[in-house]
Amino acid sequence: MIIINNKIAKIAGSVLLSLLGVAGVKGQPLMNGQVTVRNLFVSRSDDKLFISMDIDVSGLEVKSNREVIFMPALASDDHTLSLPAVMIAGRNRYYHHLRNDNLRPATTQIYRRSDVSVVEYRTVVPYEKWMNTSKLVTLNEVCGCCEETLAGENKPLLALRLEPKAFVPSYIYVRPKAEPKINVLEGSAYIDFPVNRTEIHEDYRRNPVELQKILSTIDAVRNDADTRIIALSIKGYASPESPYSNNERLAKGRTQTLKEYVQRQYNFPESIISTDYEPEDWAGLERAVENSDLQNRDAILALIRSNMEPDAKEWKIKKTYPADYSWLLKNIYPGLRHSDYAVKYEVRAYTDVEEIKRLIKTQPQKLSLNEMYLAAQEMETGSEEYNETFDIAVRMFPDDEVANLNAANIAMSRGGLKSAERYLQKAGDSPQAIYARATLAALNKDFDTAKKMFEETARKGMPDAEKMLRQIEEIKL
């Protein structure tokens, strides 16, 4: 198709809004300098290739019975595509063609030399992959009457280097649900009690330090105006030596004593503090033995994991492996006599975006995913601050599906495809997560997998899935 008239020129102008283009040199002489090609440009847009050049024939001498034919073509080693030709004719040849309508080929555009100085050549052809590394050439012929060819010139104009169209993703971020912010601070204290007794002596051995650990944890929450303690739990453990029944009495009594001590310090409502106890901390003993270099480590572990009664199990270890038992009694058993505590508290909701931004940098543990997302919406998409917000969100909520999904999108936008893959493993199976996995597959050039997943998400109503499918179809042309 020859693009000469204004209507088609407007179409060509829209095609110029392409992703890929190659421009020629400033001016290229033809026919010993009588003709100059200027403003040469070849570009691709989707499935079309646009070719544009200005053919300056102001210096061309054409006698009345002669004509010059410019026949552009795209050529590669295995393909050739002839483009519409341009004929510059002298007076007699011009009228001869008008009377006889015998242009060769039919798409040739004819000009009378005295009426034209610059031919604005514009044409659009269907794009094919081989054109990426083709050449734009022109065969220029000078003909006389009786179709006699007097001279010819085959001239290369431009070597094309059109890269294949790249996949341009559209990332979809998910807004987390607004939920109450319930956090927990946990710790372990090793309170020393007199042998076989349950009362606490505050100044006994390590007790000043260990009791202060509990109080400091509670104070860290209690003294923060943004938080409210909603529960406090204490669980006491004893070590396996001596009869199980006695250890049960000690674990229960010592836990109750510790609860009463805390209650005296703060006067909490009775409903806030809960207690539990474990007569013998066999799980803690198992972990310690697993990480030890005991000579009979595996045999002792087998006994610990057996279904024997606690007293029989402890006696068997003591009798069978006395040296190892002695080491455990001295180095491990004291650590099994501990009290685990947890302070559960609620953080108030934040609505001021600037306050949320400050907390993201200083106390992100106070924020919910929803609050971080609200702040991100006020940041420039793709900025360092924006990306960092989603990075912090997934660090604070490492197992949350939405946090991992949004972090995967950030990683992909920065080229971190391996990181995105790890995040997507924990992003669940929502339509948005499947869409993100399709995006990752497309960025990895696995277009077949990407197409299947985008088709699935399109059926589930994802708004951008159809656009992504069209991109993949264009890339695979």
**Three-state SS for 168?**
coil
Q: What is the pLDDT of residue 95?
A: 86
Please state, in angstroms and rounded to a whole number, the distance separating the CA atoms of residues 18 and 124: 13
> Quick one: which H or E segment has residue 181?
strand 181-189
Q: What is the pLDDT of residue 442?
A: 95
- Superfamily name with CATH number, domain 373-475: Tetratricopeptide repeat domain (1.25.40.10)
Q: What is the pLDDT of residue 148?
A: 62
Q: What is the pLDDT of residue 150?
A: 56
Q: What is the mean pLDDT of the chain?
A: 87
**pLDDT tens digits along 30-73:** 888 899 999 999 888 768 899 999 999 999 888 888 889 999 99
User: Which position has the higher pLDDT, 337 or 402?
Assistant: 402
**Residue 168, token pair as written in the block:** 């341009």
> pLDDT-based confidence at 155, cuts 50/70/90?
confident
Q: Over the Cα atoms of the chain, what is R_g?
A: 41
CATH code given to domain 6-159? 2.60.40
Distance of CA 309 to the CA centre of its chain: 53
Please state, in angstroms and rounded to a whole number, the distance separating the CA atoms of residues 84 and 106: 9
What are the contacts of 51-55 at 24+ separation with CB within 8 A? Answer: 51/83, 51/121, 51/122, 51/123, 51/124, 51/125, 51/136, 52/12, 52/16, 52/121, 52/122, 53/24, 53/121, 53/157, 54/118, 54/119, 54/120, 54/121, 55/86, 55/118, 55/119, 55/121
Contacts of 82 (CB under 8 A, 6+ apart): 71, 72, 73, 105
Average the pLDDT over 287-302 and give the result. 95
Of 249, 136, 254, 270, nearest to 191 (Cα)?
254
CATH class, 181-345 region: alpha beta
Beta strands in 190-335 (DSSP E): 227-237, 273-278
Contacts of 287 (CB under 8 A, 6+ apart): none
Range in 194-203, 336-345, 397-406, 437-446 the model is least confident about: 194-203
Please state, in angstroms and rounded to a whole number, the distance separating the CA atoms of residues 62 and 352: 78
User: What percent of the chain lies above the pLDDT cut of 90?
Assistant: 62
Q: What is the pLDDT of residue 47?
A: 80
User: Which position has the higher pLDDT, 132 or 21?
Assistant: 132
Is it true that the peptide bond before 240 is cis, omega within 30 degrees of 0?
no
Please state, in angstroms and rounded to a whole number, the distance separating the CA atoms of residues 162 and 133: 7
DSSP code for 407: H
**pLDDT tens digits along 200-247:** 888 888 889 999 999 999 999 999 999 999 999 999 999 998 899 999
Q: What is the pLDDT of residue 8?
A: 25
**Three-state SS for 35?**
strand
Range in 16-25, 43-52, 391-400, 427-436 the model is least confident about: 16-25
Range in 5-14, 112-121, 329-338 the model is least confident about: 5-14
Alpha helices, DSSP H only, in 47-158?
91-100
How crowded is residue 66: how many other Cβ atoms within 10 Å of its Cβ?
20
Please indicate, yes or no, whether the overall pTM of this predicted structure exceeds 0.95. no
Q: Please determine whether the domains at 6-159 and 373-475 fall in the same fold group of CATH.
A: no
Asked whether the predicted pLDDT for residue 27 surpasses 50, the reply is: yes
- Sketch the domain layout of the chain as residue ranges: 6-159, 181-345, 373-475
**Residue 279, token pair as written in the block:** 């007569």
